[in-house]
Amino acid sequence: MTTAPLHLAVALDGAGWHPAAWRDPAANPRELFTARHWAKLVAEAERGLLDFVTIEDALGLQSTLFDGPDDRVDQVRGRFDAVLLAAAVAPLTSRIGLIPTATTTHTEPFHVANGIATLDHVSRGRAGWRVQISGRRSEAAHFGRRELPPFDLRDLSGAEELFDEAADAVEVARRLWDSWEDDAEIRDVATGRFIDRDKLHYIDFSGRWFSVKGPSITPRPPQGQPIVAVLDHGGVGEPYLLPARAADVVFVTPRDRDDAAAIVRRVRAHPRDGEPLQIFADLLVFVGADAEGRKARLDELAGAELTSDAKIFAGTAEDLADLLLDWREAGIEGFRLRPGAVPADLKGIARGVTAALRRRGAFRDEYGAATLRGLLGLPRPANRYALAAAPTTASPVSPAVPPQAVPGRLS
């Protein structure tokens, strides 16, 4: 069977997505908070020719409770800052995309935008940003600038506002990434001119949550616009509206093929000009001949059977490859696999699943592009401010970076 190549990524989170993964015999918990641990994980994913890795992060400690610490001592607690971690491993890799998580609630988009732009420069065009909100009062208490209402499943209007805030944060970041034109840096030693100040732009964003003048302190990223990704379960407000408004990639959590098809229909129902939103399905996976037994042992160590927002798979690489190709028939374009335990299940993905897909003609034999946008088949968007100042015959800007009124230039 010959099919077009699948997009495949992994979501990295400490020792793995099972709460007892750090106790797996193959794990090395003493290395968990070291650069070496993360460098090995990302290198394994790159050897498997995966499109990208995402790195989990949050503004509070992991917990079995929705809001606040649970005081458990038998599970991993603590994380590295995902953006800084991605920047640390970027020079140790050459082709794989790096998408750290950064929360929009309580943070300033000016800082996040500069961090992701810097990551794109350090990685030479392989950066992305997984946008995340926080509705937890315990996390708000770390900052002391705002109070959030108690979380109530019967009234999610507060979460809708956080999604609106996130959309504004992404818009600020996108404008900042364009606030330097591509040729703003002259660097002419003979004339003593380092920069063309006419090619730096005020973004003059003023909204409900943010007021940002700009320009960025970081030159335009190599990709022009780093990839923006959003995990959306479709349960708050209008389903999948945030990724339709703000993202290039959406991570969804179908339970089966029929559910996947229904989600695809809901995502595609949102009007969107230009490049379509890419839909990746999340699965939490245990891969290998002994996958079910390993999961059962980890469940026993944890004292409870594993539950997840995503479908849980335990089986061989061949069976998982069959599932991925079956779901693709429902319109899923790629998959973000969450390894139950690392390194075992990451190796099962990077070596076993990719090989099984390759035998079906459904996965690459080598990297075909040097940037993350290139790997995902997305063009490099033109700079909105350069287009706005150009003659009207210029080609339209990508919808991922909608044109705005020409801002004031720096004088």
Q: How many Cβ atoms are within 10 Å of 331's Cβ, its own excluded?
A: 16
Token pair listed for 261:
């098809």
Domain ranges of the chain: 7-389
Phi/psi for 281 (5° steps) reads -95, 135
Give the closest residue to 344 by CA, choosing from 78, 18, 8.
Answer: 18
> Looking at residue 304, what is its pLDDT?
96
Residue with tokens 């409900």: 208
Contact 286, 297 (CB under 8 A): no
CB 41 within 8 A of CB 85: no
- Going residue by residue through the chain, which has 411 residues, state the pLDDT in tens, using 9 for 90 and above: 446 789 999 999 999 999 999 999 999 999 999 999 999 999 999 999 999 999 999 999 999 998 999 989 999 999 999 999 999 999 999 999 999 999 999 999 999 999 999 999 999 999 999 999 998 888 989 898 888 877 665 565 668 899 999 999 999 999 999 999 999 999 999 999 999 999 999 999 999 999 999 999 999 999 999 999 999 998 777 889 999 999 999 999 999 999 999 999 999 999 987 799 999 999 999 999 999 999 999 999 999 999 999 999 999 999 999 999 999 999 999 999 999 999 999 999 999 999 999 999 999 999 999 999 999 999 999 999 999 877 654 444 444 444 444 444 453
d(CA 253, CA 263): 9
Q: What is the dihedral of CA 27, 336, 221, 411, to 10 degrees?
A: -110
Identify the pLDDT of residue 390.
Answer: 77
- Which tokens is 193 given? 């001119």
Q: Contact 223/381 with Cβ under 8 angstroms?
A: no
Topology (CATH level 3) of domain 7-389: TIM Barrel (3.20.20)
How far apart are alpha carbons 175 and 343 in whole angstroms?
Answer: 39
Total residues found in the chain within this entry:
411
Tell me, what's the pLDDT at 40? 97
Cis geometry, peptide bond prior to residue 215 (ω within 30 degrees of 0): yes
Q: What is the pLDDT of residue 407?
A: 45
